[in-house]
């Protein structure tokens, strides 16, 4: 390998390293996400339990969805360097809204469907960003 080639390879790998590290959130962001997830933990656990008995239209279910929605809106305000992360936060708010709309219409089938999507979004983000 000649000198010019090795220099360009070196620069390329440097660029890759910069591109990769640019997607890493800083310590403050990581802490904020951690705190946010602690808030989501219990509501999700309660909702999961109620969903197995199809209690989508109960006041308990509605109250726990509201807690998740509040946390999801706070998550949207946490700006992550990875675009996909922020998109998933937006989606979480969007699908919690759809879940609420289904409950309002007293449509159990639609509520079940959107609750499934909400859980998928949690899992998608965890698959990509939780270690």
41 or 104: whose CB is closer to ligand HEC? 41
Which position has the token pair 């936060």?
Answer: 89
# chain residues binding ligand HEC, by CB under 6 A: 20
**Alpha carbon distances (Å) from 56 to 36, 62, 70, 107:** 24, 8, 18, 9
7 or 120: whose CB is closer to ligand HEC? 120
Residue span 27-56 as binding mask against ligand HEC, x where in contact by CB under 6 A, dash where not: ---x--xx--xx-xx--x------------
Which residues ranging from 83 to 122 are in contact with ligand HEC (CB under 6 A)? 85, 88-89, 92, 118, 121-122
125 binding ligand HEC? (CB under 6 A): yes
- Give the span between the Cα atoms of 59 and 37, in whole angstroms: 23
């Amino acid at each position: 390998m000649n000198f010019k080639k090795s220099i360009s390879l070196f620069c390329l790998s440097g660029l890759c390293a910069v591109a990769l590290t640019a997607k890493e959130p800083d310590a403050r962001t990581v802490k904020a996400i951690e705190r946010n997830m602690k808030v989501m933990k219990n509501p999700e656990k309660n909702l999961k339990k109620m969903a197995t008995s199809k209690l989508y239209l109960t006041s308990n279910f509605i109250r726990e969805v509201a807690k998740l929605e509040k946390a999801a809106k706070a998550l949207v305000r946490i700006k992550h360097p990875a675009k996909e992360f922020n998109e998933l936060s937006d989606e979480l708010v969007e699908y919690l809204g759809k879940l609420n709309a289904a409950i309002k219409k007293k449509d159990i089938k639609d509520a079940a469907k959107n609750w499934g999507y909400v859980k998928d979004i949690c899992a998608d983000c965890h698959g990509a960003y939780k270690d």
